[in-house]
Structure 1
Amino acid sequence: NLLFEEIFSEADLSLLDELICQAETELERKFSDKAYCQLVIYLATVLRRADQGIDSLDLHVDNMKKSIEFSTAQQIVERLEQELDVRIAPSETDHIMLYLLGAKVIKTDHSRLNWDKSHAHVRHDKLYLVAAAMTDEMEKLCGTEFGKEKRRIVEDLTTHLRSAVYRVKYRILQVNPVYVEVRNKYNEMFLRTKQVTGRLEKYIKEKVDVQEISYLTMHFVAGLERVKQITHDKTRIILVCGTGIGTASMLAHRLMNEFNVKIIDTVSCRGLGLVPKDKYDLIISTVDLPGYDQDYYLKVHPFLGEDDYKKLQQRLNLRFPSANKVELSLVNRLIGIVEKYAEINDRQQLQYEMMYEIKRHNERRMERRFEYMLNDLLTRETIRLNLSCANWKEAVAAGTALLEEKKWVSSGYKEAIINNFTEFGPYMVVAPGIVLAHARPERGVKKLAMSLITLQTPVNFGHELNDPVKLVITLAAIDNETHLKALSQLMEVFMNQKDLDTIVNATNKDDVIEILKKHSK
């Protein structure tokens, strides 16, 4: 707080806001709220350095001084010098340019790019061509065609890449707040995105980290959701997102895929006040909106958790009953296969009978299904505290050993987890200090199980952001569903810093079990 007051004590925030808004207009993009705050803080810091006569480090970016971002940075510096009568070191312009290049955006002004002949050069932009090539490859990997949505996907991807390229090149770390959810829910899509990202890495001659790949994954997931979209009369929605275009885009299209909604616009908190109230029926936001009536505003998590769906279902209509939608999709795929090899005399009757059989099958399966809670899986027998492990392999072995003792997994499960780390890198280090170790069910899982160990001395798993690790959770899943409730409750523990700290620093199992019990509801 003292540092914050020191930086902003003499800063003219209204001037900084005006300059950032002008930069958005000049660059034809809207910064996310997080990027806006970072720019305000950085410009205030620039003024502070100028006041004290401190020069910043030369970045040697002469090859980028013809960019529109550099021109915009120059305008900001010139305006600050004129308005506040200060001299700002020339190298500060380079730093501001990189902030503008690396700032995440909530949307771009597509209205100023009509893609007609006068703008044909945009399609020949090298980064646009890279995005197009990535999208082409993704179509092949997914075995689908994006159709009319393809241009939109490439445009949004290009917008994201313009800032991502400079974050990668200049080591500007950008942690995705929903990285864990992306890996849990869309891991296959993540691995495909990792493959197509090779084209970007070849172009920029740099390795792209998993956080950036998870953002790119969200763009492709959003594109696939749009392809599936069916239009209806919809509730008009204004979507407020404080992070960036990838998060906003995927949330928008999950909403459109699940509910009868029309996304009127995607805005930042700052832009919400400019939207006339008669243009929308409901605001859905991923951030708090003080001062807004809750009759017109819902706050949700970007990944729409169980509680979010309950809130949304109270206010919005589902596009289809969810069970029928899944069953009908499966039936239509099966009928498509049948039609390749046989003539169907009565398609509707066949569709009905197949729906009926699938419904009966699902009902029988649900009768046998039990929903496991977190404290059903993490018990006194599968918890060990303050173990001593020399390295990450010993930590993985200690976690799986608790399950091997119960014969819930075979010895091969440990090797499968280690092989995953070796082949794919430390993606299972899901948060600072936390590993969620797992492998495929067929690699030795005999029963749904989970273990929890804490380490006396943290060890490194090779993750540049989340090392060292002190908490190791080992999950042995038998399918894609039965562990989801417990896993969701585990994520709630991770997001509760007080409870997480208690577990990590616990010296007796009772404290851990009490917290697990609290979240198992």
Structure 2
Amino acid sequence: MRDRSLELLRKFVASDFPVSIETLCEEFKLSQRTLRSEIKNLNDCLMNNEFPIIETVRGKGFLLTLSKSQMIDLMGLFGSDLKDEFYSRDERIIDLVLDIALGQNKVFLYQKEEEYKISKSTLDEDMRRLRTLLKEYGVEVLSIPKQGLVFEGKERIIRTMLYSLVNKAIDNVALIDNIKNQSTLQQIIFKYIPLGIINEINQIYDQSISSSEENLYRKNRILFTGIWMVRYNMGFYVKNTNWVRATENAPNGLHVFVTAIFEQFGLAPDKNEFNYLVFMLNTFNSKDMNNSVEWAQAQILSIQLIQYVENTTKIPFSKKEAALQEGLYKHIGGLLNRLRYDTQFANPMKGNIKSNYGEIYKAVEGFSKVMSTTLDKEITEDEVAFLTIHFSTSLSELNQEIEYCYRAVVICNHGVATGKLLAENLKELFNIEVLAVLSSRETELINKLDVDLVFSTVPISEVSKPLLVIDPIIKRESKEVIYNFLNQNSDCKRLISHHENATQMFSSILNLMEKQDIKITKEIYSDVEEIFRKNRLSFNTREIQPMIKDILKDTDIIIQAKASGWEDSITIVSKPLLDDGTITDQYVTAMIDTVKEFGPYIVIGPHLALAHARPEEGANRLGLSVATLEEPVNFGHETNDPVKIIFCLSAIDSFSHLNIMKNLIDLINDEEKIDQLAEVKSEEEFKQVLFG
């Protein structure tokens, strides 16, 4: 029997429930036709040896039912314990990876051939696939005489590769599940990363970070710590020493956690490894962007992503913009940090997300290619899936608030009463709003009405809108015809929101609080927002938050400034905000220092820069200034230099300036306007061009 047939048989032996054809096709990478052929061959073999056959369970899949004695006889026939010891190709590859990376003994191919009970050609194919898999991570596997199989690559990349593969294999099962609940893949993993270690790390996490937290971030941290510990104990160390700066803003709980890991497991102190582990564990969470130099870049990308996905899917995500942008902003902040150090999340839910939210996933994937170009780093499918989760959550909220309807006109020649009956039935059964009931003599009115579809009891001609001819009484068979007609014209659907727009009320409440000398913090803003949401009152944040024209004064505009270089341009553009107390000298120094340390990340578009620093580095209030440069300056950006216009933004929180960021995004996308602004000769002319 072929290896694939044995793997398939093993799948049925291991399952106590029907396995769907979709699951089998995806797992074994087979078409339904080929899969059915394999099952037929298996059944022939089973019948020839007087075993029960694999049966089809209607609507559920395939099932093999064996008694205990039949199971023993079947295992005897094939010479191995099909339920526990025979590994599929995916399981063999995981075992190979972990044995090479975490095993205590040298790994030789001939030994693995005997252990797996497979032929040399089969193991050769396993190795070919393994090398292809490792290539994605920049890791190679070498076979060295007397040493066996070894990995070649940077240690931090090898650790990331191990974490990624193990995380996908573990899937959504909790790390501390009993052995009886584990799949074969999980049993392989815990052979190399003992459950005792995982349990102890879990207890330390309870004591130092949280005993109630139970989410993906916790699981990622515990799993990565287990992999790190095994590699560290084996004498493999990271050589990069730049982790100290990256861990400055990590939560104190992470430092306590890593300290306890070193102490309780008796690990030899190593400052570089300590900082590395703190950094890596900190990347497994949404980032507090108030303490990040990348906050502006994260906000620009999150706003652009929402706009891109909304335009692509036609789903009105801007109606949930505040909560969606905040979640994306934090996630992208963490993503930017991970990209800098070549570490990205593994997402065990990726397959389900792609299947259930395919349209949104494809849209996010489309923008991820733009991000990859901008950041010069590849965004993985796993990270795309994480971003998709934020949109799918907003979609669920939208679906609770919004209904779709069609607007139609009814043409009926059987009298007004019959026409109204048809109209009411269409509304009741299909959520169709009928704007008018007309006779066939009034068809010239159709094109004058704001309708999408036409339902008529008689054939009519010269109608530019989709038309369906139906009986005036909707019968059972007519319903299917109408459903198909609506599906064919789904692009005609209109949105109906049950939320009352209360933007003016929201704005008035905030203004009243400010008059009472109440500072509108992020927490207060969120509390008021939540009250409105609970009472089904919606508001447009774009109308509430200030735009560029609301805060950019004439004195904040500098025309044709003479800058000796990029540092001088930052000093020049920040002067109006410095003079009126919006920012401090520390803020100016911080803007220059972060460019020196992190590069030209403030060059946000062709010939356009946005100078900024962290709010706590000297931002006293919201403010914006701008300078056009007589001679463009180079910041060192590969594609967007030279800079002709530079803005300086002072932001005191993560939400009050979002409209300003949207205005700047519009400017990024309008290179012609940037060129026009660069040539203006006065502040008034600058405002006319900028604000249209």
Q: For the superposition of Structure 1 and Structure 2, which TM-score range results when normalised by the shorter chain?
A: 0.3 to 0.5
Select the structure of larger CA radius of gyration. 2
Return the TM-score normalized by structure 2: 0.33
Higher relative contact order (CA 8 A, sep 6+): 1
Return the TM-score normalized by structure 1: 0.43
